[in-house]
Amino acid sequence: MEKPILLFDGVCNVCNASVDFVLKNDNSRSILFCSLQSEKGKELLRYYQMNAEDLTTVVLIDKGKVYIKSDAILRTAKIMGFPWNLSQIFFIVPRFLRDYLYTKFAANRYKWFGKKETCRIPTTEEKQRFIQ
């Protein structure tokens, strides 16, 4: 069984803080990470027939399926285990509403939280969880 892969915007401060959160709280330690801007990230997006130039959403690849926007976040929380998996209750909110809110936030994330000049470089301890 392949491990889930979370693709994220490597220069986004919010995205990097989210990666830090998942690294710290993923009880299963099964989630791998890959920057959307990396060659491997672009390769994965092309393989799953997604626009490799679209950096406006987080992408979760799990068991051969691709999840984006709010679905990606909620499914990542489910994989992380208790108590984060309790967020599954938000699946009762219609996807169009969850994704609308996600899109509004994503459109303003650089303005509100800034961005880095270069993509995140994993620490020595983190390297085993990052796909280069």
Q: What is the pTM of this model?
A: 0.89
* pLDDT score at 99: 96
55 has a pLDDT exceeding 80: no
Task: Give the mean pLDDT of the chain.
Answer: 89
* pLDDT score at 122: 77
| Angle at CA of residue 35, ends 127 and 72, nearest 5° | 105
Q: Select the more confidently predicted residue: 125 or 31.
A: 31
- Cross-strand partners of 61: 5, 66
pLDDT tens digits for 65-111?
999 999 999 999 999 999 999 999 999 999 999 999 999 999 888 88
CA dist 17 and 103 (Å) reads: 18
Average of pLDDT values for 54-73? 91
